[in-house]
Structure 1
């Protein structure tokens, strides 16, 4: 396999990952609080070796897939009229308790169970600012949530929804469609802003992502065609050499 094929294969590898990232973005275009994934590419220069290397042609450029990061642009907030729906305006994440531990989310589509526990769409209890499950008493109705997260019922203020963040949000590990696993220590948001009866939509632009997918697929097809053409050229050259009569 020659250098042309190796370079093209490096491009194919990154394009396959780009298709996966874009497809995941499209699949979550309607997921509350979802942040689109983006790829970080770089050029990898490899020094050629051997006595036949031409002067001025000492390095080859490969495409390198460095990492995938999340676009932290806030999604649009929309009214729902549901008093247990909450949207974060600005930084921060809700905290929920799962069987695997504490997880973070921007998806504030919560519900009240029969026992009064406020849970997310998967039934995970939502935590208050002290790290305890957020529970309403049977006789209490959820009347209002202030912008700082303070929850009030007919019995007065009963607590506050906890919002936390981490120093480097790119270290959060996605789990499922809307949960994030913190890998570093979390800390409370200094100035939380919560909107009641609203949800944050995904920041994915479905039209842009669809266009991007078409471009990636076209680039992939052209690059793969180059690999096939180069393979045919090499095989033709080998056939000609082996077919030449020996003196």
Structure 2
């Protein structure tokens, strides 16, 4: 198989991954707190020996280098639900899961029967000391100030913990909206929490759909190239094997 085919196949391999990434982004375009995944491509050069004056030539192959999350803030929308919270600015909510503490920008919480504030999966929301936030069952009104102070009609009960990490690229996605911190977390100095609001996904559906169409077109062109080269190669073999020997 000639190098032209290998180069096209390397491109097809990266485009397959790109299509999966774009599809996942579109599938979560309406998931609160979801952060779009982006891809990093690179080229690696392979030096080919030949008769060129320089002694050879370089051929560029495509490589899927890495993926990363785009942590830009999504749009905030009003829900008027008293246990919906949105962070305006940097930072993440902390929730306790069966696998340990995880971070999230999805502030859609609710009160469990025992008064614990939990997310949609039942993971408790944590305060600044890393403790579960529990509202007394007899308390009816829950209010949250911009600095994260949570109060009821009986007074302050907790301070919502908003944390971050020094390098956001070290956060590992788990599911649609949870992030696993792999380095030490620390409290955000200044927070702004908006009660009765949620942060939408930062996926731009129109741009992502356009990107998916471009990926598909590029994939088809490279696949056609591989098929054309394969046909040409097989025809050459057939011609050589069927020619009468002199």
- TM-score exceeds 0.5: yes
The 1-side partners of 2:98 and 2:150 are apart by 26
Q: Could you tell me which runs of 5 or more consecutive residues in structure 1 were left unpaired when the two chains were aligned.
A: none
Residue number in structure 1 paired with 2:14: 14
Cα deviation for residue 143 of structure 1 reads 3.0
- C-alpha displacement at 1:86, in angstroms? 0.2
Give the C-alpha shift of residue 142 in structure 1: 3.9
RMSD: 1.1
Other-structure match for 1:54 = 52
- How far did 1:242 drift? 1.1
Q: Secondary structure at the match of 2:224?
A: helix
CA distance in 1, matches of 2:10, 2:40: 14
The aligned counterpart of 1:184 is: 183
Q: Kindly provide the CA deviation profile for residues 84-113 of structure 1, in whole angstroms up to 9, marking residues without a partner as x.
A: 000011111101111111111100000000
1: CA distance, partners of 2:21 / 2:53: 40
Report SS of the residue matched to 2:237.
Answer: helix
Secondary structure, aligned partner of 1:75: coil
| Pairwise CA distance, 1:23 | 0.2
SS in structure 2 of the partner of residue 134 of structure 1: coil
Aligned to 2:100: 101
How far apart, in 2, do the equivalents of 1:133 and 1:48 lie? Answer: 62
3-state secondary structure, aligned to 1:58:
strand
**Map of 2:169 onto structure 1:** 170
Distance 1:55 1:149 in 2: 69
The 2-side partners of 1:188 and 1:53 are apart by 62
Could you say if the C-alpha distance between residues 211 and 141 of structure 1 is closer, same or farther in structure 2, counting changes exceeding 3 Å? Answer: same
Give the aligned partner of residue 210 of structure 2.
Answer: 211
Aligned to 1:3: 3
Separation (CA, whole Å) in 2 of partners of 1:136 and 1:53: 79
Larger displacement relative to structure 2 (220-229 or 40-49):
40-49
When the two structures are aligned, how many residues end up with a matched partner?
245
